[in-house]
Chains A and B, each alone.
Chain A
Amino acid sequence: MQDKVRNERYNNYVEAKIAKTHAWPSLFNSFWVGGLICTIGQLFNDVLLLSFPNMSTQSAWAFTLIFLIFMASFLTGLGIFDKIGAFAGAGTIVPITGFSNSITSPALEFKNEGIIFGMCAKMFIIAGPVIVSGTVASMVVGLIYLFI
Chain B
Amino acid sequence: MERKRGQQTVFFKNKPIIIGHYSLVGPKEGKGPLRDYFSKIEEDDLFGQKTYEKAERTMIEQSLRGAVENAGIKFGDVRLFLSGDLLNQIISSSYAARSFDIPYVGVFGACSTMAESLALGACLVDGGHFDTVACATSSHFSTAERQFRFPLELGNQRPPTSQWTVTGSGSTILSCKGHGPRITCATFGKVTDYGINDVNNMGAAMAPAAMNTLIAHFKDTKTKPEDYDLILSGDLGKLGSEILIDLMEDHGYKLGLNYKDCGQMIFKRNQNVLMGGSGCGCSATVLNSIILDKIIKGEYKKVLFMATGALLSTTSSQQGESIPGIAHAIVIEGEDNE
Which A residues are closer than 8 A to B by beta carbons?
A: 3-4, 6-8, 10-11, 13-14, 17-19, 21, 26, 76-77, 79, 81-86, 88-89, 92-93, 98, 101-102, 104-106, 108-110, 112, 126
The answer to whether A102 touches B154 (Cβ under 8 A) is yes
B336 interface residue per 8 A CB criterion:
no
The answer to whether A82 touches B153 (Cβ under 8 A) is yes
- A7, chain B: closest CB distance, angstroms: 3
Beyond the given A11-B196, A112-B50, could you list 6 further A-B residue pairs with CB under 8 A, ordered by the A residue number?
A: A13-B243, A14-B204, A82-B152, A89-B157, A93-B156, A109-B152
- B143, chain A: closest CB distance, angstroms: 11
The answer to whether A86 touches B157 (Cβ under 8 A) is yes
The answer to whether B155 touches A14 (Cβ under 8 A) is no
Kindly state the separation between the CA atoms of A81 and B153 in the bound complex, as whole angstroms. Answer: 7
Known: A11-B195, A14-B196. A105 touches B152 (CB 8 A): yes
- A115, chain B: closest CB distance, angstroms: 15
Kindly state the separation between the CA atoms of A7 and B51 in the bound complex, as whole angstroms. Answer: 40
Chain B residues near A83 (CB-CB < 8 A) = 155
Q: Which of A7, A19, A26, A92 contacts B195 (CB 8 A)?
A: A7
Q: What is the total number of residues of chain B having a CB less than 8 Å from a CB of chain A?
A: 26
The answer to whether B157 touches A85 (Cβ under 8 A) is yes
The answer to whether A105 touches B194 (Cβ under 8 A) is no
Kindly state the separation between the CA atoms of A28 and B246 in the bound complex, as whole angstroms. Answer: 36
Known: A14-B243, A18-B239. A101 touches B154 (CB 8 A): yes
Chain A residues near B155 (CB-CB < 8 A) = 76, 81-86, 88, 92-93, 98, 101, 105
The answer to whether A18 touches B161 (Cβ under 8 A) is yes
Known: A18-B160, A19-B160. A85 touches B195 (CB 8 A): no
Q: Which of A76, A92, A98 contacts B153 (CB 8 A)?
A: A76
Residue among A92, A105, A110 facing the most chain B CB atoms (10 A cut-off): A105
Q: Which of B146, B154, B243 contacts A17 (CB 8 A)?
A: B243
The answer to whether B146 touches A109 (Cβ under 8 A) is yes
* Majority-rule SS of B interface residues: loop
B168 interface residue per 8 A CB criterion:
no
Chain B residues near A98 (CB-CB < 8 A) = 155
Chain B residues near A112 (CB-CB < 8 A) = 50-51
Kindly state the separation between the CA atoms of A96 and B157 in the bound complex, as whole angstroms. Answer: 17
Chain A residues near B242 (CB-CB < 8 A) = 17
B263 interface residue per 8 A CB criterion:
no
The answer to whether B201 touches A105 (Cβ under 8 A) is no
Kindly state the separation between the CA atoms of A141 and B242 in the bound complex, as whole angstroms. Answer: 51
Chain A residues near B154 (CB-CB < 8 A) = 82, 85, 101-102, 105-106, 126
- B141, chain A: closest CB distance, angstroms: 13
B276 interface residue per 8 A CB criterion:
no
Kindly state the separation between the CA atoms of A49 and B117 in the bound complex, as whole angstroms. Answer: 67
Smallest CB gap from A108: residue in B = B153
The A-contacting residues of B in range 45-65, CB under 8 angstroms, are: 50-51
B208 interface residue per 8 A CB criterion:
yes
